[in-house]
Structure 1
Amino acid sequence: MAAYWIAHVNVLDPEQYKGYTDIAPLAFKKYDAVFLARGGASEVLEGEPFARHVVIQFKDMETALACYRSPEYQEAKSKRDGHCVAQISIVEGLAG
């Protein structure tokens, strides 16, 4: 059953955040991630406002979690730590 990585992000330092965007795609490619939404127009209707929203589809929950926990992604994450505020959830999709 598919799973979705949902991220809400406010970038604090775009120059430093580029270190993340330069290498994070390596992890996403390794785990066959499919980007469904990435930083397009949005409107926050409830909750804390974030400027950037990302939805990524994975084959299943295990694959999504493996991607997040992978050395490749953790290296990328270390490049963004302190340069953005992020909320990331991984959600299992519906059957059928």
Structure 2
Amino acid sequence: MKAYLANIDDTLAPIEGQFIIHGGVRTVLEGEWTEDLIVIAFPDLAHARGWYESPAYQRIVAFRTGNSSGDVILIEGVPPDHQATDVLTGGARRRG
């Protein structure tokens, strides 16, 4: 993991990715949460996919997968003016 952590920032910078959550102290208010959470933000979904598929990231991904387990998902964010009720009118994509 040290090799992964030592190199990941260099893979993010060219694609405008940045950590916004990287572990940290958690306070569970409802339910149970026992895992660490890491969130990396990108300008859009295309940038996120481009980072994950980039040769630079693919060179180091085995350092993570060989030493830890966890899910990796891409989720499209919402615009700054998003309101909760937007999901009722199709203003945001929903699973279901």
TM-score normalised per structure 2? 0.70
The answer to whether structure 1 residue 35 and structure 2 residue 19 are counterparts is yes
Q: How far apart, CA to CA, are the structure 2 residues paired with 1:74 and 1:43?
A: 33
Over the aligned positions, Cα root-mean-square deviation in angstroms equals 1.7
Q: Which runs of 5+ in 1 are unaligned?
A: 1-16
Tell which structure's C-alpha radius of gyration is larger: 2
Pairwise CA distance, 1:34? 2.3
The answer to whether structure 1 residue 57 and structure 2 residue 13 are counterparts is no
Q: Which has the higher strand share?
A: 1
- How many residues align? The count is 78
> Which residue is equivalent to 1:79?
63
> Which residue is equivalent to 2:94?
none
Any idea what the Cα deviations from partners look like across 1:55-91, whole Å, max 9, x if unmatched? Answer: 1111000000100111111111112222100211111
Q: Which runs of 5+ in 2 are unaligned?
A: 82-96
